[in-house]
Amino acid sequence: MEVDSWDQWLEAALDKLTSMNLVRSVRPILLETSSDPSDQTKGKIFVDEDEHETFDELRSWDRSSVEICIDESTLHNWLHDVPSLGDEIMRPDRKAGGRKLLLFSGNDYLGLSCHPTVRKAAAMVAQEHGMGPRGSALICGYTNYHRRLESALAELKKKEDCLLCPTGFAANMALIVTLGSVSSLISTRVTHHKYDKIAIFSDALNHASIIDGIRLAERRQEAKVFIYKHCDMAHLDVQLSRCPMEKKVVITDSVFSMDGDFAPIVELAELRKKHKFLLVIDDAHATLVFGKNGGGLAEEYGCEDDVDVCIGTLSKAAGCQGGFIACSKKWKQLIQSRGRSFIFSTALPVPIAAAAHASLIVSKKEQWRRRTIWDRVHDFRAFTGIAITSYIIAIVVGSEASALRASRHLLRSGFHVTAIRPPTVPSNLCRLRITLTAAHTTEDIKKLAAALSCCIKLDVNGSAFDVIDSKL
């Protein structure tokens, strides 16, 4: 197989769509500033990057992302395992106030959701344009704000272009369905032959959005799926070597959301050279946290050129909402023509696009936030003795009952740490999932470590080998 085979297949698929008049295009809508003569911003479309206010250390507003309050009735329901639909928080007879907690369950890794510059960007654009034109990106929902955000993300990921999606879940679904469609578009057979299909190799612990995407592609008889053992490159190498199908894709999370470990990106890059597959990574939990510029795991390990397509989200370290696919212009054109979860979804509201762009600027300028989150990882290691390597910490407790007891103890101690149970993880691998952020302090970590030591005994790998008090 030639090195450029995927380029040839992509070109052929686009040619087929063009011949069928099915290549879809966005129709950007230009949103300009107020025409009020007194408005000093007249004639400007965007706030200049240098005008975004940034800071050189943690400030009081950063704590808003980790200091939260829950209603007393919610607390009661949580402690007694009472199912909730959230109605209790709206009851007219509920007591004022609530229980203050430190949040160790969120994904706002850099604490940017509360940053004044991000808030201001959303507020200014909402005042000027409301939510913006509402519709899918292919109809009327795509604006100059969306395009600017796509360009910034493409630059961050060192890719030719980028496609915004409503969520990270939708981004994975759009890409994988599009991958599957390549086989049907360029096949010369009347019926599908197994060798025409796309061979998708997926890590055993990939995110649900990847799993659902490949299941759909498989059900449409456009792909055959191979699951390789978690981060096991020897197993993947064997599978790739034995697969007779030409069109191979390897897809993996970069940082695994329930375990906190990393994909072996350097080894994946070497296998890509050997087997000539298309490498796709879901960089949701690494974007803005890894790499000098926040470019993610591939930047951290110098493998950006080896990643063909990078999926990401704006709902984690960016502190906003939305998903994206960083790729070549040709892949973007094919995805926006075949990715159903992109085509048939309303585009992001304009204030969200503006806020996300501001978040990218802040994360680039306030590099101390990336350093701080790794300082908190060091603090956790020091206070607990657990050899963690990530800001996502999985403390495997075992049974569901034990995980719930530990979670309840932490709740009573003032910490929001959720027990992760089936179907997210197997029944015997229930866990506490703890996330550290740049908005946490050393003192926060010290208090959390003390609370953990009162409810579970841990080994150096973070596995709980005893729940201390069965009455917790």
What pLDDT score was predicted for residue 90? 78
Tokens encoding 216: 């759909």
- Cβ 450 vs Cβ 439: under 8 Å: no
What pLDDT score was predicted for residue 189? 56
Q: Which ranges of 107-232 does DSSP label H, i.e. alpha helix?
A: 116-129, 144-156, 168-186, 208-219
Is the preceding omega at residue 422 within 30 degrees of 0, hence cis? Answer: no
Residue 416: name the closest of 103, 106, 78 by CA.
103
Tokens encoding 79: 């402690």
User: pLDDT tens string for the chain (472 positions)?
Assistant: 344 799 999 999 999 999 999 999 999 999 987 655 455 555 466 667 667 888 888 888 899 999 999 888 888 888 888 888 888 877 766 666 688 999 999 999 999 999 999 999 999 999 999 999 999 999 999 999 999 999 999 999 999 999 999 999 999 999 999 999 998 898 765 555 666 799 999 999 999 999 999 999 999 889 999 999 999 999 999 999 999 999 999 999 999 999 999 999 999 999 999 999 999 999 999 999 999 999 999 999 999 999 999 999 999 999 999 999 999 999 999 999 999 999 999 999 999 999 999 999 999 999 999 999 999 999 999 999 998 999 999 999 889 999 999 999 999 999 999 999 999 899 999 999 999 999 999 999 999 999 999 887 766 665 554 555 544 4
Residue 433: name the closest of 450, 447, 446, 452 by CA.
452
- Locate the domains of the chain by residue range: 67-81+95-109+391-472, 117-364
**Cα–Cα dist 442/447, whole Å:** 9
For 26-43, b where at least 16 C-beta lie within 10 A, e where not — what string? beebebebeeeeeeeeee
Residues with Cβ < 8 Å from 78, sequence gap 6 or more? 70, 84, 408, 411
Kindly state the helix (H) or strand (E) to which residue 379 belongs, with its residue range: helix 368-384
**Cα–Cα dist 262/256, whole Å:** 6
Residue 135: name the closest of 346, 313, 321 by CA.
346
At residue 249, the 3 state secondary structure works out as strand
Q: In which residue are the tokens 């951290």 written? A: 300
What pLDDT score was predicted for residue 82? 87
The long-range contacts involving 264-269, CB below 8 angstroms and separated by at least 24 positions, are: 264/231, 264/233, 265/297, 265/298, 265/301, 265/303, 265/306, 265/307, 266/301, 266/303, 267/233, 268/233, 268/303, 268/306, 269/303, 269/306
Kindly state the helix (H) or strand (E) to which residue 268 belongs, with its residue range: helix 265-275
What pLDDT score was predicted for residue 1? 34
What pLDDT score was predicted for residue 35? 53
- pTM of the predicted model as reported, rounded to 2 decimal places: 0.92
**Cα–Cα dist 146/123, whole Å:** 16
Kindly state the helix (H) or strand (E) to which residue 465 belongs, with its residue range: strand 464-467
Per CATH, which fold does 117-364 belong to? Aspartate Aminotransferase; domain 2 (3.40.640)
What pLDDT score was predicted for residue 429? 92
**Cα–Cα dist 314/355, whole Å:** 10
Q: Going by CATH, does the domain composed of 67-81+95-109+391-472 fall within 3.90.1150.10?
A: yes
What pLDDT score was predicted for residue 196? 79
Rounded to 5 degrees, φ, ψ at 141 are: -90, 0
Tokens encoding 122: 């959303």
Tokens encoding 47: 């706030």
At residue 332, the 3 state secondary structure works out as helix
Rounded to 5 degrees, φ, ψ at 431 are: -155, 165
- The single-letter DSSP state of residue 96 is S
Q: In which residue are the tokens 């519709």 written? A: 135
Report CA torsion sign: 88, 94, 96, 102: negative
Q: In which residue are the tokens 């055993």 written? A: 204
